[in-house]
Amino acid sequence: MNFAADRADAVVSVLADGSRRAVHGYAGFVAAALAIAVAFAYADAFNLVRYRDALPTILVLLGDSLPPDFSRWQSWGRPLAETLAMSICGTVLAAAAAAPLGALAAQGSGFPVVSHAARLVLNTLRSIPDLVWGIMFVAAVGFGPLPGLLALACHSTGMLGKFYAEIIEHVDTAPGEALRSHGVSRLAVLRFSVLPQILPRVVDVTLYRWEHNVRAATVLGVIGAGGIGLQLITAFHLFAYREAMALILVLLGLVTLINVLGAWLRARFLA
Amino acid sequence: MPTAPCGRAGRSGGDDLPGNAPPAVVLDQITVCLGGQMVLRDVSLVITAGAITAVVGRSGVGKTTLIRTLNGLVRPCSGTAQVAGIGTLDGAEAWRAHRRRTATVFQDHALIGRLSAIDNVLLGLADQRHPLSLLPWPRALRQRAAMALDSVGLLARANAPVGKLSGGERQRVGLARALVRDPDLLLADEPFASVDPALVGQLSHDFRAAVRQCGLTVVIVLHQLDTALAIADRIVGLVDGRVAFNGTPCAFDSAARGRVFHNLRALSPLLKDMP
Ligand SMILES: Nc1ncnc2c1ncn2[C@@H]1O[C@H](COP(=O)(O)OP(=O)(O)O)[C@@H](O)[C@H]1O
Ligand SMILES: [Mg+2]
């Protein structure tokens, strides 16, 4: 029967399509594996000779830094508070700037030109490392935590804006359409449909960014942005490895504390 | 729906409409194009005030698009819509007035899963609040939402997140969100699709009683023909975006059914339970 033959042909073509896609999949996998191998080779990671002295050196360094020396702990309170303040203020400023930028950058926000412009701003903010932002702001406003928090804010705005835009793009549009069919304004759709849907993910990535910024704020201390990082780099410069180890432990404690706080906040918002 | 969800007295007693009931909405030669494809062609319809108009047809014929045209989510490329008391829907002002009196029950519920049932129902009243207000929902509005939930028999689940409700319960939340607006025109897109088939009979009976008591004008898309025949005052059959039948349930004879559900030979074993 002609009809049956037609159907058989159609089935064969569907199956052929499937095998073609599988072949493409394997080819892509092999290409990716090759690219990764080249990257390792290029970074000199296969040059085994260079690993010869690595372990002994690390052990010597570890030995020199043990036991940790907490004797100057009284002078760490202020730098620690500075680092914490930098991370909090940087994250809050970034979240405040990233919210409108991310909303504009999200595909389907309504105006393609504006959305591309917002994306460009976010990409620029993000592609300049926070260390570079830090050097710029130290020159602009002087030493201390202020340039640090401005640097964190700039770089984090780029990161958070990108994440916010992606979260907004994944929002279910159906509840918003229901609102629009009732004659509700665009702003109200954002408030009553988009916001409740994105809130848990936004809280999640913002808390994650805060945790990241505590670590980043430490590094910024190195270039004169104050905080515990300055103490750490000073200890290294003075070869006071045991004090450096103590500072690293303190930092670890702080980051762990913030992770615990973040987990608690997440549990509250995701419930 | 044990109680009447609306606040007004409504049409009393009689289940039959007067023969010369006024039109609520008149569609004149509406054509809708979506993605370069003509989805509705020259649809002309009179939707009678206070009546239940059931839209039936195979999937993909444009039933959802017809509902979306009536609530303004889709703008026709030609044709006009006139609404009693408002006139032609052309400007923003006319649409605002029309939408204020209209509510829609969506096929896929269109609820927010993480919000509670009552918070979802409150979304039906979002046009009564300033979008930037940080205050909680006013007590009067929350009371209306609770009463709407009660009217669909779901008050006990008011504070449960919608994501944890069953399909049928979600559908009822969607219905409550529409009813809380106290609309004149109720649009419903397959509102019983996710309800246990054994319950559809009772639910659709309650639905008819409730909307009758409120004097609502209803346009309802149904895929179960027997449900449509049981509750509708008028049946509109769509085929390929055109009106292929428009008449009373009694007039929807086997010839008319054949016209609307034509070309289903391959599926007929699956559809034998259709009357
Ligand atoms: N946004 C859209 N863009 C392009 N085509 C669409 C869109 N919405 C619906 N359609 C098409 O219009 C036709 C009718 O769709 P719909 O009204 O949802 O049908 P029904 O509700 O009767 O199943 C379908 O062929 C569908 O693919
Ligand atoms: Mg549909």
pLDDT tens per residue across span B82-137? 998 888 888 888 999 999 999 999 988 899 999 999 999 999 999 888 888 888 88
3-state secondary structure of A190: helix
Say how far apart CA A245 and CA A67 lie, in whole Å. Answer: 8
Chain B nearest-CA distance from A193, in A, is 7
DSSP conformational letter for A128: S
Q: Which helix (H) or strand (E) segment is B39 a member of?
A: strand B37-48
**Ligand 1 atom 18 nearest Cα:** B64
Q: Does the distance separating the beta carbons of A182 and B99 come in below 8 Å? A: yes
DSSP A126: H
Could you give the 3-state DSSP secondary structure of residue A47?
coil
Interface contacts A/B by beta carbons within 8 Å: 66
Q: 3-state class of B41 per DSSP?
A: strand
Distance CA A11, CA A18 (A): 11
What's the gap between Cα B214 and its chain centre?
15
Q: pLDDT grade, residue B1 (50/70/90)? A: very low
Chain segment B208-252, per-residue pLDDT in tens: 888 888 889 999 999 888 889 989 999 999 999 999 899 998 888
Contacts of A180 in chain B (CB under 8 A): 73
Distance of CA A159 to CAs A128, A209, B171, B234, B240, Å? 11, 9, 39, 56, 48
Helix ranges (H only) for chain B are 63-70, 92-100, 117-122, 139-151, 167-179, 197-214, 225-231, 254-260
B20 CB neighbour count, 10 Å cutoff: 6
Spacing, Cα A186 to ligand 1 middle (Å): 24
- Which spans in A43-129 are helix H? 54-64, 77-105, 112-127
Chain B residues with CB-CB distance to A under 8 A? 68, 71-73, 95-96, 99-100, 102-104, 106, 108-112, 114-115, 119, 123-124, 126-127, 129, 131-132, 177, 181
Q: Taking an 8 Å Cβ-Cβ cutoff, which residues of chain A contact chain B?
A: 172, 174-175, 177-185, 187-188, 190-193, 196-197, 200
Residue B18 has pLDDT above 50, yes or no: no
DSSP string of A200-269, one letter each residue:
HHHHHHHHHHHHHHHHHHHHHHTTT--SHHHHHHHHHHTT-HHHHHHHHHHHHHHHHHHHHHHHHHHHHH
Residues of chain A with pLDDT under 70: 1-3, 109-110, 270-271
Q: Which residues have any ligand 1 atom within 6 Å of their CB?
A: B 34-35, 37, 39, 57, 59-65
B190-212 pLDDT per residue, tens: 988 877 778 888 888 888 888 88
| Number of residues assigned to chain A | 271
Q: Among partner residues B104, B115, B131, which is closest to A178 by beta-carbon distance?
A: B104
- The reported pLDDT for the residue numbered A219 is 85
What pLDDT does B263 receive?
Answer: 56
Helix (H, G, I), strand (E, B) or coil at B56: strand
CB A97 within 8 A of CB A161: yes
> Which-ligand-closest: CA of B189?
2
Closest residue by Cα to atom 8, ligand 1, is: B34
List, in order, residues 6 or more apart from A186 with CB less than 8 Å away.
A110
